[in-house]
Amino acid sequence: MPDLEPLAVYIHWPFCVSKCPYCDFNSHVRATIDEAGWRDALLADLAFEAALLPGRRVTSIFFGGGTPSLMDPATTGAVIDAVARHWSLDADCEITLEANPNSVEAARFAGYARAGFGRVSLGLQALDDAALKQLGRAHSVREGLAALDIAQAHFGRVSFDLIYDRPGQTRAAWEAELARALGFGTEHLSLYQLTIEPSTAFARLHADGKLVLPDADTSADLFELTQAMTAAAGLPAYEVSNHARPGAASRHNLAYWRYDDYIGVGPGAHGRRLATATERHKKPENWISALAATGSGLNVEAPLDAETRATEALLMGLRLAHGIDAAHFAARTGRTLEATIDTAARDRLVAQGMIEARTDRLQLTPQGRPVVNAVLAALHR
Amino acid sequence: MTASLSQIRNFSIIAHIDHGKSTLADRLIQQTGGLTAREMSEQVLDNMDIEKERGITIKSQTVRLDYTASDGKVYVLNLMDTPGHVDFAYEVSRSLAACEGALLVVDAAQGVEAQTLANVYQSIEHDHIIVPVINKVDLPAAEPERVKAQIEDVIGISTDDAVMTSAKTGLGIGDVLEAIVKFIPPPKGDFDAPLKAMLVDSWYDPYLGVVILVRVIDGKLVKGQEIMMMAAGTKHLVDRVGVFRPKIEVIDALGPGEIGFITAQIKEVAQTNVGDTITDAKKPTAHALPGFKEVQPVVFCGLFPVDAAEFEKLRDSLGRLRLNDASFSFETESSAALGFGFRCGFLGLLHLEIIQERLTREYDLDLITTAPSVVYKMLLRDGREIELHNPSDMPDPSTIELIEEPWIEATIFTPDEYLGSILKLCQDRRGIQKNLTYVGGRAQITYELPLNEVVFDFYDRLKSISRGYASFDYHQIGHREGDLVKMSIMVNAEPVDALSMIVHRGAAEARGRHMCERMKDLIPRHLFKIPIQAAIGGKVIARETIAAMRKDVTAKCYGGDISRKKKLLDKQKEGKKRMRQYGSVDIPQEAFIAALRMGDDK
């Protein structure tokens, strides 16, 4: 079985109870959802991909959204079972559910565990009630922490998200908040700086000057502080915004960053498989009708040439603390790392202390990590 | 048949921008039947888009009107529209020399402005009879009596015969026509003498070739005649003689006192010199007309294409513009920062702006313009004298005996309340006050100023200080010795040639500090810190540092949506393309443009 090519499976559930003002993911609010119909549609979309990719071993399944913890556990179980029927699951296959930390959803956690999930990723987002309110979250800190307890009781592996670098957030406030977060013994944390995404409610407020983000120096300070505190707590960054105990990194996300094959099933889901970029119809209704008409929810299926694959692999891989393995890079993209980068720029960046370059691996230094975009722009040929 | 001298009137219109010159001209044309109302597009005379937008005239133009006066006779009225700006002072002087009188149009609410003054004095120097026209008397804010008093005080001409008009409503237009006939004298001339005509202006017409505007003094100009340009020494065969009404009308001949045009199969405007005397090649006149000058550019700057691939297109476009405007010059220049471009010479700042704007607009070029500089004269230790058009060419200071810079005499007209700030501005720019007079709530200031202080950002500053109310005009008064040094700007220890400039030693530090502060804001943070220095010779006089970039990272990677991250990278790289690499520093094109524009912040 280890000889089989690995595959990561992403399932998108596009519905939310309400839309958060910072979020630009593909989420929709609908009054009623025909869950049986949706289950069948997801299964059909999945079967379409399975037919193209026989004989793989699945290393991870990730249910994202939207809010997949609004799904009936039975629906998720049906999808997981189908994945297991189409392919063989790795013995330690990582099956993750994104969940909102509120009491209604936490009540279903036992059901999800029975359905096959071994890992949950909680959208805790903040340990401050005023901040949660500003972020448009429905839960309180107390409710969130209660959900975290339940999650840690039911799942072997738990992660939670926090959004920092928020309007008005001081260094001291974040330091206290992060210290508290690190005290729960959770093995994995996703710590994202608040980013204003286009066409969100926050983008409008920001444009009107009603939402003011911390200045660049403060953001840089907060980022550095985060690196230092998580490392000290034994959860160093293994990716720009992701921190884990040794061995607790998200295998599913690693597939993205290492540019391994992954399929994306469900509205708006993205995939990279067989040197092809796939994108499903974003709007749930369009995805459903595309499925009925063509047998898949595909909206875009674009072959990627070696150059594009190499660019993608570079910009994903450089985010990892481990960096890019030259051999894996060449195998995945059909191009050498050397041919993908501007070697003069690489040497300059090495001299500036932004990257470390060995023949078998290219990685950011801790100094280069906060400026990875600028490094990439300089490095990419 | 040429017109009889006693029934010809040649006149120009003197007015400040917006005081209604073009509207008045349009009314005169309309009333004498030159164009029907339907044919009149707004402001017939200003042909080019830029002229229409800015309300200024760049080329001299003329319109011949037939007017039946109250005495029953039909008069030929030649309305000469002259360029309204000091940059074109020489062209203006030639246009004025072609006339015997002028209408002085003054806005009944605004009163006399500096530009009006400069032009009216010129007109007086040409012994013109001036007919004051108080325009816009229909405006609620009109104060014709006050304006009349001001004209008498400031200009010193009688306003007893002033005409009250509203070019907008048509009020008083008939009175203007009568006043032209009554007060402006007919031209003098000799039908039988050898041809003597003045080349007033010329331009390139895609259908006709070069069109030459002429004023005949003596003799006749006819089709088929062989003419000679006396200064240029060239001969041409006249293939067309005509007048503008304002539409072209071909006629048989132009006689003494008449204004019209000829074409003579000339391909380039550069072959025709404004102010030259045109005579009959076979029977030349004994004496050329006085006052001919070769036009010399006074302001220089570098023009570089933003996209290096457009260099040839820029050359081609400059060549085409020069077909129609021989008064600017250009030669290839190369800059380490900006690549290949051209060093161009202009008659003044407005001229520079016009050419730049036409290149951008008509030829669709994206340009970087370097800081305007003036022509310095240098006496070197070895006795050689050189002229310096480009700060980059400055010789080693130790070889220079002395440097002279051009000076101007500036006339500024301003409401009282801005006087203090304007005096300070002039002092700061090394000005020498020559005169200060008050006329009814307004001050007229005369200053001598170094031209290099004026080309810097003087005009912008003046406009901003006075909220646009002050008006400004100048003429050159020659070169004077000055304590001038070349200031270089260094980014990350590398001199940026496009930013070097020649400044007065006393102003160098302030200018240098300002330039460094400016560049600090304009150059984005890099992965390393970047010193920006201003230096004279090896001595640093100002310094700023751009801190190293601390954060440039996308927090989330959007699920598996890599395309989105790739777009971000593409955008970042696209942005880099619009930068100039300077050593290891990327300087945005906009930084050069903004740094050189100056003046809007301090």
Mean pLDDT of A96-104: 92
Rounded CA separation A246/B6 (Å): 107
A219 interfacial to chain B (CB closer than 8 Å): yes
The better pLDDT of the pair B325, A115 is held by: A115
The answer to whether residues A324 and A361 touch, using CB atoms and an 8 Å cutoff, is yes
Residue B116 scores a pLDDT above 90: no
Interchain CB distance below 8 Å, A380 and B565: no
Per-residue HEC secondary structure of chain A comes to CCCCEEEEEEEEECECCCCCCCCCCCCECCCCCCHHHHHHHHHHHHHHHHHHCCCEEEEEEEEEECCHHHCCHHHHHHHHHHHHHHCEEEEEEEEEEEECCCHHHHCCHHHHHHHCCCEEEEEEECCCHHHHHHCCCCCCHHHHHHHHHHHHHHCCEEEEEEEECCCCCCHHHHHHHHHHHHCCCCCEEEEEECCCCCCCHHHHHHHCCCCCCCCHHHHHHHHHHHHHHHHHCCCCEEECCEEECCCCCCHHHHHHHCCCCEEEECCCCEEEECCEEEEECCCHHHHHHHHHHHCCCEEEEEECCHHHHHHHHHHHHCCECCCEEHHHHHHHHCCCHHHHECHHHHHHHHHCCCEEECCCEEEECCCCHHHHHHHHHHHEC
Give contacts of A349 with chain B, Cβ < 8 Å: 527
Per-residue pLDDT tens digits for B307-366: 889 999 999 999 888 877 778 889 898 887 778 999 999 888 778 888 888 898 888 898
Find the closest chain B residue to A354 by CA distance: B527
Say whether B136 counts as a known binding-site residue.
Answer: yes
Triad B284, B286, B289: Cα angle to 5°: 95
Mean pLDDT of A82-104: 95
Rounded CA separation B557/A272 (Å): 14
The answer to whether residues B554 and A318 touch, using CB atoms and an 8 Å cutoff, is no
Find the closest chain A residue to B569 by CA distance: A377
A217 interfacial to chain B (CB closer than 8 Å): yes
A370 interfacial to chain B (CB closer than 8 Å): yes
User: What residue ranges define each of the domains in chain A, with the CATH number in brackets?
Assistant: 5-257 (3.20.20.70), 306-379 (1.10.10.920)
The count of C-alpha atoms lying within 13 angstroms of the C-alpha of B385, restricted to the half-sphere facing its C-beta, is 4
Find the closest chain A residue to B573 by CA distance: A377
Interchain CB distance below 8 Å, A378 and B527: yes
The answer to whether residues B484 and B411 touch, using CB atoms and an 8 Å cutoff, is no
- Beta bridge mates, B331: B343
Give contacts of B551 with chain A, Cβ < 8 Å: 216, 219-220, 223, 370-371
The confidence band for B558, taking pLDDT boundaries of 50, 70 and 90, is low
The confidence band for B83, taking pLDDT boundaries of 50, 70 and 90, is low
The better pLDDT of the pair A104, A141 is held by: A141
Which member of B553, B566, B576 has the closest CB to residue A372?
B553
A189 interfacial to chain B (CB closer than 8 Å): no
B574 interfacial to chain A (CB closer than 8 Å): no
pLDDT of residue B595: 74
Of B551, B549, B545, residue with least CA distance to B492: B545
The better pLDDT of the pair B308, A178 is held by: A178
Give contacts of B560 with chain A, Cβ < 8 Å: 10, 256, 262, 264, 269-272
B141 interfacial to chain A (CB closer than 8 Å): no
DSSP letter, residue B547: P
How do the residues of chain A divide into helix, strand and coil, expressed in percent and rounded to 5? 45, 25, 35
Mean pLDDT of A233-257: 97
Tokens of B487: 């200031």
DSSP letter, residue B397: G
Residue A353 scores a pLDDT above 80: yes
Which member of B550, B562, B569 has the closest CB to residue A217?
B550
Which member of A194, A223, A373 has the closest CB to residue B572?
A373
Residue B601 scores a pLDDT above 50: no
Interchain CB distance below 8 Å, A270 and B572: no
Chain B interface test: which of A194, A224, A315, A355 (most B C-beta within 10 Å): A315
pLDDT of residue B48: 47
User: What residue ranges define each of the domains in chain B, with the CATH number in brackets?
Assistant: 5-183 (3.40.50.300), 196-280 (2.40.30.10), 299-370 (3.30.70.870), 377-482 (3.30.70.240), 486-596 (3.30.70.2570)
Lowest mean pLDDT among A45-49, A290-294, B465-469: B465-469
Q: What is the pTM of this model?
A: 0.67
Distance (Å) from the C-alpha of residue A376 to the closest C-alpha of chain B?
Answer: 8
B559 interfacial to chain A (CB closer than 8 Å): yes
Distance (Å) from the C-alpha of residue A365 to the closest C-alpha of chain B?
Answer: 13
A·B CB contacts under 8 A: 103
ipTM: 0.89
pLDDT of residue B602: 39
Give contacts of B581 with chain A, Cβ < 8 Å: none
Find the closest chain B residue to A381 by CA distance: B573
A312 interfacial to chain B (CB closer than 8 Å): yes
The confidence band for B600, taking pLDDT boundaries of 50, 70 and 90, is very low
B483 interfacial to chain A (CB closer than 8 Å): no
B393 interfacial to chain A (CB closer than 8 Å): no
B529 interfacial to chain A (CB closer than 8 Å): no
Give contacts of B571 with chain A, Cβ < 8 Å: none
* Single-letter residue type at B295: V
Residue with tokens 């601390």: B550
Q: Which of residues 232-291 of A touch B (CB under 8 A)?
A: 240-241, 256-257, 262, 264, 269-272, 277, 279
Mean pLDDT of B504-530: 92
Residue A182 scores a pLDDT above 70: yes
pLDDT of residue B56: 47
Give the DSSP H/E element, type plus range, for residue A47. helix A35-52
Of A239, A159, A162, A227, residue with least CA distance to A193: A162
Distance (Å) from the C-alpha of residue A255 to the closest C-alpha of chain B?
Answer: 9
Per-residue pLDDT tens digits for B253-293: 999 999 999 999 998 888 888 899 999 999 999 999 987 77
Rounded CA separation B550/B524 (Å): 12
Per-residue HEC secondary structure of A296-328 comes to CCEEEEEECCHHHHHHHHHHHHCCECCCEEHHH
Residue B85 scores a pLDDT above 70: no
Per-residue pLDDT tens digits for B205-237: 888 889 999 999 999 999 999 999 998 899 999
Q: What is the number of residues in chain B?
A: 602
Chain A interface test: which of B562, B569, B572 (most A C-beta within 10 Å): B562
The confidence band for B294, taking pLDDT boundaries of 50, 70 and 90, is confident
Rounded CA separation A212/A214 (Å): 7
The confidence band for B46, taking pLDDT boundaries of 50, 70 and 90, is very low
**Which residues, including other chains, have CB under 8 Å from residue A91's CB and lie 6 or more apart?**
none
Tokens of A146: 């209660």
Which member of B553, B559, B560 has the closest CB to residue A373?
B553
Residue A313 Ramachandran class (φ > 0 left, ψ -120 to 50 alpha, else beta): alpha
DSSP letter, residue B160: T
The confidence band for B55, taking pLDDT boundaries of 50, 70 and 90, is very low
Residue with tokens 């790392």: A337
- Beta bridge mates, B586: B581
Q: What is the number of residues in chain A?
A: 381
A184 interfacial to chain B (CB closer than 8 Å): no
* Single-letter residue type at B393: D
Interchain CB distance below 8 Å, B527 and A369: no
Interchain CB distance below 8 Å, B555 and A195: yes
Find the closest chain A residue to B568 by CA distance: A373
Mean pLDDT of B539-558: 89
Say whether B18 counts as a known binding-site residue.
Answer: yes
Distance (Å) from the C-alpha of residue A216 to the closest C-alpha of chain B?
Answer: 7
